[in-house]
Amino acid sequence: MNCHQVDYQIVGHDIQMVEVELDPGETVIAEAGAMTYIEQDIDFETKMGDGSGGVMDKLFGIGKRMLTGESVFLTHFTNKGKQKRRAAFSAPYPGSVIALNLEELGEQVICQRSAFLAAAFGTKVDIAFNKRLGSGFFGGEGFILQRLRGDGMAFVHAGGTVIRKDLRNETLRLDTGCLVAFCGDIDYNIALSGGLKSMLFGGEGLFLATMKGTGSVWVQSMPFSRLAEQVIGHLPPVGDQG
């Protein structure tokens, strides 16, 4: 085992957080700002990257995160005491927390770049560019993805309700923003949503994410972009005092 083996509990229903239990000396890494609370004896330190690999690997990973506009910093939470202690993390918007046992999922999961929440120390958090340029030009949220590698627990967050679809040499098409994560032998691409009439008047957008192969796909019902559109659409016009 390369990753710290942490215990956890997902708390809540519609707006969830994950509570991670750390043995003495154990560490969990998290996106900056994700922490909800920590018990005594847990110290935290903001570092560049996930702490894995050599100097050149760290510099290369940091360079990719800077290039894509991602924060180069992750916060490391370590239990410095002699008893088990807990730290909790939550998403920046309402939704669900998904626990991923990377060892059971082939030691690699690809997720939306904004989905990563926290993981056991030893997990490698890296940027994964999509190999097809079409995904970059038309896929919007789906171009820049994050790769989580390791043999411990990782936690990602999603908006609304989450469903896991297990594909067996099958194809699944979904809104690009509704993709949370996938693993296995899955080929990911962006395709036109249909005919011209459907694209212009169907309300489903011009492009859909196409997942093809054998593996697992996690889908969210309410991506943040869709939630933001609904909120903005119901705001009163600027200057309206009614």
Give pLDDT tens digits for 112-148.
888 999 999 999 998 886 555 444 444 444 467 899 9
> Exposure of 62 by Cβ count < 10 A (0-12 exposed, 13-18 middle, 19+ buried)?
middle
Indicate the Cα dihedral angle 218, 94, 113, 165, nearest 10°. 0
pLDDT computed for residue 199 by the predictor:
47
Query: Is 62 within 8 Å of 49 (Cβ atoms)?
Result: yes
Give all domains of the chain, ordered by start, each with its CATH number.
7-160 (3.60.160.10)
Query: Is 19 within 8 Å of 41 (Cβ atoms)?
Result: no
| Confidence band, pLDDT 50/70/90 cuts, at residue 189 | confident
pLDDT computed for residue 113 by the predictor:
80
* Helices H / strands E in the chain, number of each: 4, 16
> Which pTM does this prediction carry?
0.82
Exposure b/e, 208-230, CB count within 10 A at least 16 = b: bbbbbbebbbbbbebbbebbeee
Radius of gyration of the chain (CA): 19
Element (H, E) at 57: helix 55-67
| Confidence band, pLDDT 50/70/90 cuts, at residue 14 | confident
| Nearest Cα residue to 215 out of 160, 173, 164, 176 | 164
